Structure 1
C-alpha cells in the first residue's frame, strides 16, 4: 500500500467521528490498542472486541461526546503519524480539548496497531480528578 493510501485509511477513522461501522470496517480484528498510562482506560487492548468493549465502553460512560480530530498526517511505509486533538464533553457538562499524537501501523489496508500519547492531565481535570 502506498503512503497516501495508508494516510487515507487513518483519515477515514477520524472523519467518521467514531462511527462504529467505519471502525469495524477499517480496524483489523486483532488490532493492538496501546493507550498512554494515566489516560482514562490507559493500557494495552488486544483485538477489536476488547477495544470496543473494554476501552470505549467505559470511556463513553464518562463522556457525552468524545472524538479525535486529525490535523496533520505523515506516513513512512506501513506507519502513519497523526497529530491532532480530542474534542469532548463530559457527563457533567465540561468541554475539553486534548492534544494527541497517534502512531498507527497499517497492514493490508487495515489499522493494525495504535500507540497513543495524549495530555492525560487535561482529561483528568475535565473529569473532576
Structure 2
C-alpha cells in the first residue's frame, strides 16, 4: 500500500510563500494563488490598490517594489494559524533608490485561503515610514 501524501496546511502554504519571497522566486510565490485572487495593498503604500489575479499582482506590486527599492524584503516574525485565515507579522526593509534612504516598517498580512489556494490578501503597514524613505524626509 502506498502512503497517502497529505496536502500542505494553509499555514504551510503561506510559510512556503514567504520562503519563496526570501529567495526572490516569483513563480513559487504565486504557486498557490488563485487566478482570481483579490490582493490589497494599503492606501498610502507605493503599490496601493486591489489587484485581481497573479499577473496583476506581479506587475503592480512585486515588479514595482523590485524596480524602485534596493534589497526590498519582508522578514517574517510570526505566523498565526486561523484556519482559512493566516496572519503573517514581520517587517519590511529596503532602500528607496531615488532618495537612498533606508526604511524599516512593521507590517501585518492577512491571507484568506480556500481549498489550499490563496483567494485574498490584505496588507497593513506604517505607510508614513515608507513615505519618509520615498521623500527623504523625517
So what's the TM-score if we normalise by structure 1? 0.88
Equivalence for 1:81: 87
Among candidates 50, 54, 77, match of residue 44 of structure 1:
50
**Which deviates more from structure 2 when the two are superposed, residues 36-45 or residues 108-117?**
108-117
Paired with 1:110 and 1:66, the residues of 2 have a C-alpha distance of 25
Aligned-pair Cα RMSD in Å: 1.9
Distance 1:41 1:72 in 2: 24
In the TM superposition, residue 93 of structure 1 has moved relative to its aligned partner by: 3.1
2:102–2:133 CA contact under 8 A, matched in 1: yes
Runs of 5+ consecutive residues of structure 1 not aligned to the other structure:
none
| Residue 114 of structure 2 corresponds to residue 107 of structure 1 | yes
Kept in 2, the 8 Å contact 1:35–1:41? The answer is: yes
Q: Distance in 2 between matches of 1:65 and 1:110?
A: 28
Query: Relative contact order: is structure 1 or structure 2 higher (C-alpha 8 Å, sep ≥ 6)?
Result: 1
Q: Which residue of 1 aligns with 2:16?
A: 12
SS in 1 for 2:9: helix
Bigger CA radius of gyration: 2
